[in-house]
C-alpha cells in the first residue's frame, strides 16, 4: 500500500512539473506578442522551445526582414529624358480652351492631372487660347505658350514635367514662339537632342477657292521655314491638330504613312503628306494597328456615337522610326473635348552606322611608257595650278589632291592571283581534305573508334 502511494505521488509531481513548463512557455509567448503590438508591428508566431527560449529561425526572420526593408527604401535613380533604357511618353491634345493661365483654372488643373496620371513627360496643346507668349510654372509643370496679343483665339502650348524641364534647360532653354499656331522647343536627350514643334493647323477649306487655300498654304510655308533652323542630327517631332485626313490608302505614300490609316484623304491631307515627303517625316499614327476607337482623334460636336476621324498626328523623322514604340488614342481623360488625347511611347535606340569605303587601287609597276608620261605631266600641271602653300596643312592638301588627280590616268591594279605553288594537285588535295572532314563530322562514335584503331570506315 505504501509502495502504491509513493508511485502515485511521484507521478503527480512529474505531471505538475510538465504543466508548469508548458504554462511558462505560453506566458513567454504572450509577453512577446504584447511587446510587438505595443511597438506597432503586426504580431506573428515565433517558435519557442519547451523552456520558452526563442528559436534561432526567429532571429533569421528578423535579419531577412530588416535587409529587405533597407533594399526597398532605396529605389533606383530615375533616368534622363528619352533614354535608351527607359520609356518616354509624349502626347498632343486639342483642348478647346483652358480658361485662365493660373492654378485657379479647373480645366488646366484637369489637364495637368491627366498628364501626371498617364506618366507623360511632354504634352503639346492646341487651341490653348492664352494671349501672348511666355513661360510659367503651375503645380510643378512648366508651361511654354504662344498666342495672339489682342484676342483669345488659336494658341499653342507645351507642358513639361520636371524631368523634361531639366532636359530643356540642359539644351539651353531654347523656346521659339513662331506664331499663334506654331511653337518650337529643343531638349537634351540621352545621346542626342530632340526638337519638338507643337502646331495647330487651319481647318480644311470647305470651298476650293483660292482665298480659302491661301491660309493653309501660308501655314505650311511658315512651318517649313521653322524647320530650316533645326539641326539635321536632332530627332524631329511635329505634333498637334493638323485638321487633315490622310486616309487609309498608302499606295502612293508608303514611304510616309503606314497601312493603318482610316477614312478618306482630303485637301489638307494631301498638303500634309507632301510636307512629310519633303522633310523625310513619318505619320506615326498609321504605323500601328489598333481598334478604331484607339485611332480616331476627333468626333464632330463631341458625339462619340458617330464615326470618328484621324486629324491629330505625331510626325517623326525617318531616322528615328525605330525609337517610336507605339502611338495611340487614350479616351479616359479628366478634361472634356471633342478631340482625344494622342500619346506616343518612345525609347532611344542606337543603330550602328556601317560605312563601306572602297579604295580604288592603281597599277604602279611594269607600267608602259605612255602611262608614265601622262602621269608625270598631269602631276606637274596640277601642282603648278595650285601654286605655293603657306602652311603645312595646305601643302599636304595640295600634294594629296595632285596625286589623286594624276592617278586617274593610270590603269587599275590587276586582281590578286594565287601563289605559284598552288597548282591543280594542291587544289585536289584541299578538296579531298574538306570531303574527309565533313565525313568525319557526320560519322558515328563506333566509326570514330574504328578510325582511331587504324581501320577503315
Kindly report, residue by residue over 282-321, the tens digit of the pLDDT: 999 999 999 998 999 999 887 888 889 999 999 999 999 9
Binned at pLDDT 50, 70 and 90, residue 75 comes out as: low
pLDDT at 39 over 60: no
**pLDDT of 389:** 66
Higher pLDDT, 227 or 417: 227
Binned at pLDDT 50, 70 and 90, residue 212 comes out as: low
Q: Which of 64-73, 407-416, 433-442 has the lowest mean pLDDT?
A: 64-73
**pLDDT of 64:** 41
Q: What is the mean pLDDT of the chain?
A: 82
Burial class, 435, CB count within 10 angstroms (exposed 0-12 / middle 13-18 / buried 19+): exposed
Distance, in Å, from the CA atom of 177 to the CA atom of 135, rounded to the nearest integer, reads 11
Distance, in Å, from the CA atom of 364 to the CA atom of 380, rounded to the nearest integer, reads 18
Please, which contacts does 206-215 make with residues 24 or more away whose CB atoms are closer than 8 Å? 208/267, 213/267
Using alpha carbons, select from 356, 349, 158, 320 the residue that is nearest to residue 232.
Answer: 320
Q: Which of 189-203, 239-253, 280-294, 378-392 has the lowest mean pLDDT?
A: 378-392
Distance, in Å, from the CA atom of 44 to the CA atom of 60, rounded to the nearest integer, reads 14
Burial class, 253, CB count within 10 angstroms (exposed 0-12 / middle 13-18 / buried 19+): buried
pLDDT at 236 over 90: yes
Mean per-residue pLDDT, 47-51: 40
Residues 332-368: pLDDT tens digits? 888 889 999 999 999 988 766 666 667 778 888 888 8
Mean per-residue pLDDT, 272-279: 95
Binned at pLDDT 50, 70 and 90, residue 20 comes out as: low
Place of cell 477649306: 205
Amino acid at each position: 500500500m505504501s509502495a502504491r502511494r509513493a508511485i502515485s505521488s511521484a507521478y503527480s509531481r512529474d505531471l505538475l512539473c510538465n504543466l508548469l513548463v508548458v504554462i511558462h512557455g505560453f506566458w513567454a509567448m504572450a509577453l512577446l506578442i504584447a511587446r510587438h503590438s505595443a511597438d506597432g508591428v503586426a504580431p506573428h508566431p515565433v517558435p519557442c522551445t519547451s523552456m520558452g527560449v526563442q528559436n534561432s529561425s526567429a532571429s533569421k526572420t528578423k535579419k531577412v526582414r530588416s535587409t529587405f526593408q533597407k533594399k526597398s527604401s532605396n529605389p533606383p535613380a530615375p533616368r534622363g529624358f528619352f533614354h535608351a533604357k527607359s520609356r518616354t511618353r509624349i502626347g498632343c491634345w486639342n483642348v478647346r480652351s483652358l480658361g485662365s493661365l493660373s492654378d485657379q483654372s479647373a480645366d488646366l488643373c484637369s489637364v495637368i492631372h491627366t498628364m501626371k496620371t498617364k506618366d507623360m513627360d511632354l504634352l503639346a496643346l492646341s487651341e490653348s487660347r492664352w494671349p501672348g507668349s511666355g513661360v510659367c510654372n503651375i503645380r510643378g509643370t512648366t508651361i511654354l505658350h504662344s498666342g495672339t496679343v489682342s484676342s483669345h483665339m488659336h494658341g499653342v502650348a507645351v507642358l513639361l514635367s520636371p524631368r523634361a524641364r531639366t532636359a530643356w534647360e540642359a539644351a539651353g532653354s531654347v523656346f521659339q514662339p513662331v506664331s499663334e499656331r506654331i511653337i518650337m522647343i529643343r531638349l537634351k536627350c540621352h545621346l542626342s537632342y530632340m526638337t519638338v514643334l507643337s502646331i495647330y493647323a487651319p481647318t480644311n477649306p470647305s470651298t476650293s477657292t483660292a482665298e480659302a487655300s491661301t491660309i493653309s498654304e501660308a501655314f505650311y510655308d511658315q512651318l517649313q521655314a521653322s524647320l530650316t533652323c533645326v539641326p539635321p542630327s536632332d530627332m524631329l517631332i511635329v505634333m498637334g491638330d493638323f485638321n487633315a485626313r490622310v486616309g487609309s490608302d498608302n499606295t502612293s505614300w508608303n514611304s510616309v504613312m503606314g497601312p493603318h490609316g482610316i477614312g478618306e484623304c482630303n485637301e489638307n491631307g494631301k498638303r500634309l503628306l507632301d510636307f512629310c515627303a519633303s522633310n523625310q517625316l513619318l505619320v506615326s499614327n498609321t504605323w500601328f494597328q489598333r481598334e478604331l476607337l484607339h485611332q480616331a482623334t476627333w468626333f464632330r460636336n463631341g458625339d462619340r456615337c458617330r464615326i470618328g476621324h484621324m486629324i491629330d498626328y505625331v510626325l517623326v523623322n525617318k531616322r528615328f522610326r525605330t525609337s517610336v514604340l507605339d502611338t495611340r488614342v487614350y479616351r479616359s481623360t479628366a478634361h472634356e473635348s471633342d478631340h482625344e488625347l494622342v500619346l506616343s511611347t518612345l525609347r532611344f535606340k542606337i543603330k550602328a552606322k556601317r560605312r563601306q569605303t572602297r579604295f580604288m587601287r592603281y597599277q604602279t609597276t611594269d607600267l608602259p611608257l605612255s602611262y608614265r608620261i601622262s602621269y608625270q605631266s598631269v602631276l606637274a600641271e596640277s601642282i603648278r595650278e595650285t601654286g605655293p602653300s603657306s602652311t603645312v596643312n595646305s601643302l599636304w592638301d595640295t600634294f594629296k589632291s595632285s596625286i589623286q588627280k594624276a592617278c586617274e590616268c593610270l590603269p587599275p591594279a590587276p586582281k590578286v592571283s594565287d601563289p605559284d605553288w598552288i597548282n591543280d594537285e594542291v587544289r585536289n588535295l584541299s578538296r579531298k581534305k574538306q570531303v574527309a572532314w565533313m565525313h568525319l563530322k557526320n560519322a558515328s562514335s563506333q566509326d570514330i573508334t574504328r578510325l582511331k584503331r587504324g581501320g577503315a570506315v
